[in-house]
Amino acid sequence: MRHLRILAAVLLLTMCGLSAKAQFVKFSFGIEGGGYGTYINSEPQLYPPFGYGGYGGANFELRLGRVIGLYVEGIYSYQTGSHTLMDNNEIPVTLTRQYFHIPVALHLWMGRGAIFEVGFQQSILMNSQYDEDGLILNPDEGALKYYTSVVAGFKFNMGRVVYLNLRGTYGLSPSYVVRGEGFPTISASVGLGFRLYTYRKSAFK
């Protein structure tokens, strides 16, 4: 949470400074959803380290002039995966987790067609389950309540309303503990978004 608060404060100060010089201010509210894949760097304890699922959420996008913008989103994600826990024996397990993610990112507009984004994401565990051959633990004691990631990606505008979002995250703190050792999560997502409401105000009016 500390990383997210620092980033939000820096971005807010930057936006305030740039807003005075912007030719126009534009903001929009929208929704987004898509597919979600994860990689927990926990080999050889947990193999294969991949998970899959989906996500959906609502977002706020602020654009100050032609280049700079700010993006904030609230995302719910569901992810699951079948793994082998490498102990004295090979134990088949199924891990399921649900998160609420809050990415805060700086937007760099590359003309009208594409946007590059970079920032931080705070993830909050909502629910988790560990299934070992019918032995179910809910919540999963290995799933950590909070973790922070760096986020980067591209948005490709398909008109004024619809856009394609390609995004990746890299964990800066552990998200899952196996045999007392914490491991970060790397994720990749592909989603489709819709700007439901957009407002623009020129600085010269």
CA-nearest of 168, 169, 126 to 146 is 126
- Of the pLDDT bands very low, low, confident and very high (cuts 50, 70, 90), residue 72 is very high
Write out pLDDT tens, residues 78-93.
999 999 988 778 889 9
Write out pLDDT tens, residues 28-51.
999 999 999 999 978 678 888 999
Write out pLDDT tens, residues 100-116.
999 999 999 998 899 99
Do 191 and 34 meet the contact criterion of CB atoms below 8 Å apart? yes
Find the domain containing 177 and state its range.
2-202
For residue 26, what are its two tokens?
């534009």
CA distance 187 to 38: 4
Total count of domains within the chain: 1
pLDDT value for 179:
81
For residue 36, what are its two tokens?
């979600």
CA distance 150 to 196: 27
Q: Is the pLDDT of residue 22 over 80?
A: no
Q: Residue 175: phi, psi to the nearest 5?
A: -115, -20
CA distance 76 to 11: 23
Do 109 and 71 meet the contact criterion of CB atoms below 8 Å apart? no
Do 194 and 32 meet the contact criterion of CB atoms below 8 Å apart? yes
- Of the pLDDT bands very low, low, confident and very high (cuts 50, 70, 90), residue 139 is very high
Do 172 and 149 meet the contact criterion of CB atoms below 8 Å apart? yes
Residue 134 maps to which CATH number?
Answer: 2.40.160.20
